[in-house]
Structure 1
Amino acid sequence: MHELSICQALLDEVARFARKHGAARVLSVTVRIGPLAGVEAGLLQRAFTAARRGTVANDAQLVIERAPLILECRRCGRQTPGRLSHMRCAACDTADVRVASGKDLIFQSLELETAEEAHVQ
């Protein structure tokens, strides 16, 4: 399950960012996953729950956003939405397309709590 190694790398980056900004803890981590990223959202969620234990993100929520599949047509030059079951240009119906978006796993955002905020509550 490579989702666990993805979560460990993600949490390393989260910890670095939290230290840099003086965060006492991480409240949420948001990632954006394309349909061709090769990452199963459910497995990523479970791996994150296991990997976050004992880290600054111990109680953090993982928010997963779905990125659309966007195809760029080599014939007409347009970018159109794609489907895994139909990798053709929606404008001219050619199969001569390249994936413009939808292969990525992107670390989108963090919600942090500083030490001062933690003391106020």
Structure 2
Amino acid sequence: MNSAHTPNRKIEGVVPAFGELPIFAVGQRVKVSDRAPVGHYRVPTYLRGQTAIVEAIMEPKAVNNEEEAFGRNAGAVRHYYRIAVPMTSIWSDYIGSPDDGLRIEVFETWLEGVSE
């Protein structure tokens, strides 16, 4: 299956359940949440608080593995997003090209919208 986002079909009169449609769009600026949860988490510390661009919405949707680790998810699904963070934002002394970026897939619950 292609991992790039395919537009969701809307069916007249049907309201999608929470988590069925992506919250963010390809090209949208997002911020990685800056929090320190206790226990199982899957976002590197050095990316927390960083601003990024959504490059892809991953399909199929997936369960929230952080909540699953504690038995709290009950199978609810949401989206992963491939985001791009400029290397110069992560490491201020980065000496490579200013166009270089780190790509990583982050679960929807770790991302926040950024006003333009």
Higher relative contact order (Cα pairs below 8 Å, separated by 6+ residues): 1
Q: Determine which structure has the larger strand proportion and give its number.
A: 1
TM-score class, shorter? under 0.3
Q: Determine which structure has the larger helix proportion and give its number.
A: 1
Larger Rg: 1
